[in-house]
Structure 1
Amino acid sequence: MNKEEFDSIFTEELFKKIGRMLMEKKISMENAVLLTKHIGCCKVLKGIWIRSFKESSLNKRFENMIIEEEKKKEEKNEKLLVDLCECYILLSIEVSSELLSICVSCLLKVAMNKEESEEAQKEVEIALLALNNTGLIRIEQKLYLKEIKEIIKYHQEHRNLTRLAYQSAWMFLIDRLLVDNSLEDTILNEMHFIREAVRELEELTRRVDWKKKGEEMSKEESNEVLVIRRWIHTIDSFLLWCELWIEKLYGIMGTIVQVFRESKDNQREIHQECIYSLRKASMIVVVEIEELFKGGAVETVMEEMNQSTLDDDIMWDFFHFFLNISRRLIEEDDDDDDDDGEKEEAKRKATKMEIFEKLEEEGYEDVITSFFETLKFLKEKYDEDLSLNISDYSVNV
């Protein structure tokens, strides 16, 4: 189901109807929760934003029920509170601070369940998926950090979470980084995010039969492709928001390149996600140009540019990939200081020479020239700062 189909089915009227049926006792709260939770999970996994729930009376009803249930001193229905929090967070596009603290605390309690039964794992997965949907809002560390660290570290030792649950736990933590960069050291050096992300991506990639088209894949394989896409998004976010120098990327660019190559024939969506990821990595300071080169990103993009059936969006990403590299090499040259200028200058020149030789060997300039008209069209279509001077796209020493 695509976004248009999703929006046409899960309308404000549908949620109003569920609310009316609850009031008229034509549907039980248990069934209403099951239905709305399923809609919410589908919405999050497909990466779709829907506003229809926010505008509905059901949204307000769930908000009031969560607050009322939380206030109870005795006979609190913990299961109902968990269900309501999951439905509300999964379907919401924004959450009030009062409800956020209640829901985060409630869902983390569920996510800390270490039982390994299939039922318990599923409950933990949904709780972490819901937490992941809190978005980029600031949450005080005291509300979540101790618990989410324990969840992740326990899984690293015991492998008790599903792959989706583990990825969701990391995505929740990485999303906090945008507004709280004090988490960088914890994420990088204490919990080893880069190492874990690479390991998960490599294992997942091996488990997928990439020769199959989407409809031919088993449900398990389709789920694994979905988790791969989510890991790539999480890596992108981390690299974009991280300001600490990263000593080791553990071949993370090479792993994304591998997914890029594997998905080329039959998984167009994830293939494009990888292209987008490589393009973003080319402009991020914490990802060294050397890492892009050694990881095979430069070579892979050049190979793809030689294809005759590229669409405009892909070409736009490819051109920007090389434009970013060219700009960064110039900027790094300008930023050299007197103390270590000679060493950095030598390293920069060696990198530029290596890239230039590779580009020349692969006929990169010929490729650019053949796509000159495409470049002109992209400039007009996207209104981007794409120079029409071909020499601007050469990486010269």
Structure 2
Amino acid sequence: MSGLIKEMNGEEFYPVFTTELFDSLNKMIDEKKLLMKNAILLLKRLGYWKIMKDARISTFERSSLCKMLEKMIIKEDQKKDKKNEKLLVDLCECYIMLSNVTSSKLLSICVHCLLKAGLKKEEDKETQKEVEMAMLALNHLNKFKKLDKELYLNEIKEIIEYHQEHRNLTQLAYQSAWQFLTGRLYFDPSLDHVIVNELHFEREAARELEELTRNVNWKKRKEEEKRDKESRETKNLKQWLQTIAFFLEYCQLWNDEIVDLVCSIVKIFRAAKDNHKELCDQCISLFEEVAGSKNGSADGLLNSGAVELILEEIQQSTLDFKMTINFFLFLIDPSSELKEKKRDEMEEAKRKNLKRKVFEKMEEEGYEDTVTSFLGIFYFLREKYCDHTLSLDISDYLVNV
């Protein structure tokens, strides 16, 4: 059955993994027709592929099997003597990965248990797989579920810092650990100092993106589409871009390492633009987030190559309408920043110098004429996509000396 699960795509999960199926498994366990250890193996594989294939199944929490696991977790956790730590970890992983709604009563138990499993530092493959499963389950917790820092911060910091020094985690485990931590920013913006200045998220994310981009076989993308499959590297890239998107939206503190991160995203776009539109769309959304944030800067975007990339793409004959909107929305923010005079004399001199560089670049490559040529369709784009943030004033997209 585990083999069949692996071959299924996300949509095929829905008609198969019903509440009735989970109820039947619970009955088989109760009647001793299915050993608990075998049930755990099956449920962990199902949970793993449910997450990897991004299948939004909401049938498990309504089942008798879910209620049975909740009772087993509480019972095992409350044991004072002879507590089976391995069983408790397995139960927590099954429960968290299969459920979309975590009981508040079980939240602290599961988080503590999964972090303890994630702290294992042995580098053999079996331990790495155990840690990967624990981090994957931990990451599956709802980002919009509040957790006290005391429950997780010291442990997740130790897991990330130890990997940065020893490289003991798998790529998926490391990405999951980061996604769990950045996900806590929604309720606790004070984590930004830890994430940026202590753990250097921007630097680490850039390094991971660079490695994954090198390892993706971009030429095989068409074959992947025919088989309705994606390589692990491609999936990890998409997950990292999602993690970065959450970071950019909710983190109030960036440093100079953001330039290297955006530079890595530029490289992904260039590598993916011929055969992976979904990744390209993710990249453009991230460029917009950086450009529109008070943390971003026109100088940083220019140094990263993002502005140059957007200007190049605007000249492509294959540009579709939605991408056109995204590109022009991106250009509004850097151009607005370059038009605002600075009170500080040094900053004002820097602004004028950068403004001239951008102007010369646009003039040299014919970008200004290209941008101007789009003016006639701005009203059409605004109405078609109901995006009234798209300015009808062409000067908002241009930088004049």
TM-score under structure 1 length normalisation: 0.88
* One-letter code aligned to 1:111: G
- In structure 2, the partner of 1:344 is 347
* One-letter code aligned to 2:365: E
- In structure 1, the partner of 2:148 is 140
- In structure 2, the partner of 1:356 is 359
* One-letter code aligned to 1:357: E
Contact 2:297/2:334 (<8 A) preserved: no
Q: Residue 40 of structure 2: which of 33, 37, 60 is its match?
A: 33
Contact 1:312/1:374 (<8 A) preserved: no
Structure 1 CA distance for aligned equivalents of residues 25 and 332 of structure 2: 52
- 3-state SS in 2 of match to 1:213: helix
Contact 1:239/1:287 (<8 A) preserved: no
Structure 2 CA distance for aligned equivalents of residues 353 and 49 of structure 1: 50
- In structure 1, the partner of 2:180 is 172
**Aligned pairs, how many?**
390
- In structure 2, the partner of 1:51 is 58
Deviation at 1:85, TM superposition (A): 0.8
Write the mapping of 1:157-168 to structure 2, written as runs, cut at 5 A. 157-168=165-176
Aligned-pair RMSD on alpha carbons?
A: 2.7
Task: Give ranges in structure 1 of 5+ residues lacking alignment.
Answer: none
Deviations 1:108-164 (A, max 9, x none): 111111111111100100101111111322222221122111111111121111111
Q: Residue 14 of structure 1: which of 18, 21, 31 is its match?
A: 21
Deviations 1:215-255 (A, max 9, x none): 369xxx92122222222222222232222351443511111
Task: Give ranges in structure 2 of 5+ residues lacking alignment.
Answer: 1-7
- In structure 2, the partner of 1:99 is 106
1:296 to 1:6, Cα distance in 2 relative to 1, 3 A: farther
1:328 to 1:38, Cα distance in 2 relative to 1, 3 A: farther
Q: Residue 276 of structure 2: which of 253, 267, 271 is its match?
A: 267
Larger deviation, residues 206-215 vs 116-125:
206-215
Contact 1:236/1:281 (<8 A) preserved: no
- In structure 2, the partner of 1:63 is 70
* One-letter code aligned to 1:46: K
Larger deviation, residues 85-94 vs 348-357:
348-357
- In structure 1, the partner of 2:93 is 86
1:214 to 1:225, Cα distance in 2 relative to 1, 3 A: farther
Q: Residue 182 of structure 1: which of 161, 171, 190 is its match?
A: 190
1:179 to 1:187, Cα distance in 2 relative to 1, 3 A: same
1:60 to 1:292, Cα distance in 2 relative to 1, 3 A: same
1:17 to 1:181, Cα distance in 2 relative to 1, 3 A: same
Q: Residue 389 of structure 1: which of 386, 393, 396 is its match?
A: 393
Structure 2 CA distance for aligned equivalents of residues 174 and 15 of structure 1: 32
* One-letter code aligned to 1:127: A
- 3-state SS in 1 of match to 2:258: coil
- In structure 1, the partner of 2:291 is 282
- In structure 1, the partner of 2:82 is 75
- 3-state SS in 1 of match to 2:62: coil
Structure 2 CA distance for aligned equivalents of residues 276 and 155 of structure 1: 29
- 3-state SS in 1 of match to 2:218: coil
* One-letter code aligned to 2:392: L
Q: Residue 233 of structure 1: which of 242, 249, 255 is its match?
A: 242
Larger deviation, residues 370-379 vs 86-95:
370-379
Structure 2 CA distance for aligned equivalents of residues 90 and 280 of structure 1: 30
1:367 to 1:52, Cα distance in 2 relative to 1, 3 A: farther
- 3-state SS in 1 of match to 2:163: helix
Contact 2:23/2:65 (<8 A) preserved: yes
Structure 1 CA distance for aligned equivalents of residues 50 and 384 of structure 2: 31
Structure 1 CA distance for aligned equivalents of residues 259 and 400 of structure 2: 28
1:394 to 1:109, Cα distance in 2 relative to 1, 3 A: same
Deviation at 1:321, TM superposition (A): 0.9
Are 2:317 and 1:308 aligned?
Answer: yes
Contact 1:276/1:317 (<8 A) preserved: yes
Structure 2 CA distance for aligned equivalents of residues 22 and 285 of structure 1: 55
1:114 to 1:368, Cα distance in 2 relative to 1, 3 A: same
1:88 to 1:362, Cα distance in 2 relative to 1, 3 A: farther
Are 2:201 and 1:193 aligned?
Answer: yes
Larger deviation, residues 151-160 vs 183-192:
183-192
- 3-state SS in 1 of match to 2:169: coil
1:11 to 1:348, Cα distance in 2 relative to 1, 3 A: farther
1:198 to 1:353, Cα distance in 2 relative to 1, 3 A: same
1:312 to 1:181, Cα distance in 2 relative to 1, 3 A: same
Deviations 1:341-361 (A, max 9, x none): x22222223323322332333
* One-letter code aligned to 2:311: M
Q: Residue 112 of structure 1: which of 95, 119, 128 is its match?
A: 119
Structure 2 CA distance for aligned equivalents of residues 320 and 232 of structure 1: 20
Contact 1:113/1:120 (<8 A) preserved: yes
Deviation at 1:260, TM superposition (A): 0.9
Q: Residue 159 of structure 2: which of 151, 156, 164 is its match?
A: 151
TM-score under structure 2 length normalisation: 0.88
